Amino acid sequence: MPTFEFEDWMVNHYWSNGYMVLRQIIPGSLLRDLRNAADRARALAYRIKGPQTQRIQPLVTYADDLDLQPFYNYCELPELVDAIHKLMGPEYRHHNINNMGLLVDPDGHSWNQGWHRDAVVEVPEPVQSDSEFRSTLEEVWFNRRLFNQVNCAIYNDSCLWYVPGSHARQRDLPGEIQTIRADHLPKWHDDTSETEFEKTCYLHAATFPGAQQMHLIAGDYMLYRSNAWHCGNYLSYQPRATIHDSCVYQEGDFVPNYRKRWAQVKEDAKARYAETHPADCTLPDAPNPT
Ligand SMILES: O=C(O)CCC(=O)C(=O)O
Ligand SMILES: [Fe+2]
């Protein structure tokens, strides 16, 4: 039986801190099935993308090779449906199965993803301060229907570092500097030891102003504002299989319209960048579109 019970304070906690962990909301039997399916998904991720991969997404792409039924059962879980309706409102769905992914531990070496705010990180640094780009984000920054992201732990997971409250301002404070794609982001070199590298990665996460490590227990569902500062710091020797997904506002056409507009704003921003940096304009797509 799940031990989670919804309480009203959770609503304020989410909107003031930018995250809320629904502790032990996944029942043990579903967790067992998810773990079996996730172990296979992790093995497939290594096979397809190499041992240092950190995710497989969207899972539905691999339906022929995986047992997705436990993930569909997770989408139907009444406890989660109910908790998200109470936390966010009845217009929200706790999953987005068509884009749902799995975050996994890299095999071999630890890995630090780098500090970032989702959305902002989707264009090169020099155009992040462009007026069109910034003002588009400003219009939606506080919009509750967007930026609601999910990490649901199938194994205990302490990889995510987060700056509580940073979702509540678009302005950055001193020291809040994106390190994805930065030269000083820790990278594995053969001439260092794994333990030294692990420490470097840890310090990169822990020294960011206001950073807190999020500790999820297997069966916890964490909802967080993805426009807050956050960073994944992955250890190669601790199993990770964490559902990575969005909590979706389903009413009307606000979200689909915004997604279309955002795609265009991003393309325009990248094009402006490419004019001045022709050799350097390939960026990964948003890992987890809102
Ligand atoms: O590894 C994590 O928990 C964070 C992943 C993340 O930040 C992202 O996909 O944008
Ligand atoms: Fe992110």
Crossing angle for the helix pair 78-88 and 9-17, to the nearest 10 degrees: 70
pTM: 0.95
Q: What's the topology of domain 9-118+147-250?
A: Jelly Rolls (2.60.120)
- Kindly list the distances between the CA atom of residue 279 and the CA atoms of 123, 126, 273, 274, in Å, as whole numbers in the listed order: 15, 15, 10, 8
Distance 205 CA to ligand 1 centre (A): 13
Tokens of residue 257, six digits: 């319209």
- Dist. CA 35–CA 158, nearest whole Å: 17
pLDDT value of position 51? 92
pLDDT value of position 1? 46
Task: Tell me the CB-side half-sphere exposure of residue 39, using CA atoms within 13 A.
Answer: 6
Q: What are phi and psi of 157, to 5 degrees?
A: -145, 115
- Domain range summary for the chain, segments of one domain joined by +: 9-118+147-250
Ligand 1 in reach of 151 Cβ (< 6 A): yes
Ligand 1 in reach of 227 Cβ (< 6 A): no
Report how far Cα 144 is from the mean position of its chain's Cα atoms.
17
Q: What 8-state DSSP symbol labels residue 286?
A: P
Task: Give the position, in ligand 1's atom list, of the atom nearest the Cα of 151.
Answer: 3
Ligand 1 in reach of 160 Cβ (< 6 A): yes
Series of mean pLDDT values for 10-residue runs along the chain (290 residues): 86 98 98 98 97 96 98 98 98 98 95 97 95 95 98 98 98 97 94 94 98 98 98 96 98 96 95 82 53
